[in-house]
Amino acid sequence: MKRLLTAALSAALIASTAQAQKLNFDDPAEFARQRELLTAKANGPNGEPWAQYYGDQMADTAKFRKEGPYTICFSNAGVNNAWRVTGWTNMQAEVKLHPEIKELIHVDAEGSDDKQISDIDDLIDGGKCSALIVSPNTTAALTPAVEKACAKLPVIVFDRGVNTKCPVTFIHPVGGYGFGIQAGEFVAANAPTGANVLMLRIVPGVDVLETRASAAKHIFKEKGLNVIGEEFTEGDNAKTKSIVEDYLQRGKIDAVWMDAGATAVAALEAFEDSGLPLPVITGEDQQDFLMKWKAEGFKAIAPTYPTYQWRTPIIAAVKVLKGEQVPGPEWVMPQPAITAETLDQYVNDKMPPLHHAMCGCEKLPDYPAAWGGQ
């Protein structure tokens, strides 16, 4: 029995290593493509990045044309972090702009692949959905479920992708390399030559986060910066603060690079509480970081993974059901970074600390109350 268990365990280990080797988070071609997109001009209405797209490849949707009113179904990976909370609020508000939509049926997979697979099955079997929107929990696990849904009705995927081209379109911002490039280049331009950079990351192994880190490392290497450490914070404020305090005891940190901004303020507080000047830092569009930035005026940039992308699937679904063309098979949208020059547009002390400012939600119904603002 024991031997069997050992055998099974080692087999699983080998399988998972093979899997890890297969995934490539350091793809020079994709790196170059995303670097280009960051400065490219997007198509679509000015000032409405959620409706904009790069390139001109369109998906034909005439065969999905249907008379309204529509029932849109949404299988959501989870509402388990502040980014998703803001995004989900955006989507509900977007629905209110479309009188053709009779109902939005939302099922929350609570971060579980299994639940999301059965959620999608239930939605298909329920027979009420005119179109299905999926925000997959993980890429590989959800692929078969999405393929199954494609056979029955128009499917729109956003945020994380799936390994199939069957959905009408896959909506996402430029991507992880783009995020890493924006943050990395800012650090390289603003920290002294040969500066010590601490890289703070949430968890290893998540594609959109891995690509952010690999892109930044490229840039640091290119510009001769010294990466003194790469630490995983699990998105925990207390842990982040502890890690930074420990590094500060051992030596100097000139810049902090973060793969996501949730704990940026905690990292800054570690400098404050140690009585040191604030470093060059990269955060995200979380309101607490923007507030701190505005108040203290340190050197920072906030690349975003914009939550306005949660509006787009609804816009796309309505278009698809009306038989209008949408960008496809990929709908790549702009991914702006907040800089010192644009900070004032986004900082807002009436919004809650974990609100993500790049929400494109200021003109949506029920703003700001629905987002927890005053």
Task: By CB under 8 A, name the binding residues for another protein.
Answer: 79-82, 84-86, 204, 229, 231-232, 235-238, 240-243, 245-246, 249-250, 262-263, 265-266, 269, 273-274, 288, 352-355, 371-372
Count H helices and E strands in the chain, helices first. Answer: 12, 14
DSSP secondary-structure letter at 356? B
Cβ closest to another protein, residue 218 vs residue 355: 355
Q: Give the residue with the Cβ less far from another protein, 63 or 250.
A: 250
User: Where does residue 3 fall: left (phi above 0), alpha (psi -120 to 50 degrees), or beta otherwise?
Assistant: alpha
Cα(309)–Cα(87) distance, rounded to whole angstroms? 8
Q: How far is the CB of 99 from another protein (least distance, A)?
A: 26
- The nearer residue to another protein, 263 or 309, going by C-beta atoms, is 263
Q: Give whichever of 81 and 112 is closer to another protein, judged by the CB atom.
A: 81
- Looking at the Cβ atoms of 112 and 164, the one nearer to another protein is 112
How many Å separate Cα 217 from the centre of its chain?
Answer: 19
Residue 67, C-beta contacts closer than 8 angstroms, at least 6 positions apart? none
CB of 101 to another protein, least distance (A): 22
At closest approach, how far in Å is the CB of 364 from another protein?
16
Shortest Cβ 131–another protein spacing (Å): 26
DSSP string, 110-126: TT-HHHHHHHHHHHHHH
Q: Which CA distances in Å does 277 have to 239, 242, 341?
A: 21, 17, 22
Give min distance, CB of 229 to another protein, in A: 7
Which of 94/108 has CB closer to another protein?
Answer: 108
The string of DSSP letters for 176-239 reads HHHHHHHHHHHHHHHSPTT-EEEEEES-TT-HHHHHHHHHHHHHHHHHT-EEEEEEE-TT-HHH
Residue whose entry in the numeric block shows the structure tokens 């010294």: 226
How far out from the chain centre does Cα 24 lie?
Answer: 18
Q: Are 94 and 118 within 8 A, CB to CB?
A: no
What's the min distance (Å) between Cβ of 65 and another protein?
Answer: 37
Minimum CB distance to another protein smaller for 58 or for 79: 79
Tokens read off for 107: 């099922």
- Comparing CB distances to another protein, the nearer of 121 and 230 is 230
Q: How far is the CB of 239 from another protein (least distance, A)?
A: 8
| Nearest-angstrom CA–CA distance, 345 and 342 | 6
State in angstroms the smallest separation of the CB of 189 from another protein: 28
Q: How far is the CB of 341 from another protein (least distance, A)?
A: 25
Distance CA(110)–CA(72), nearest Å, equals 20
Pick 232 or 367: Cβ nearer another protein = 232
Helix (H/G/I), strand (E/B), else coil: 156: strand
| CA–CA separation, 275 and 270 (whole Å) | 9
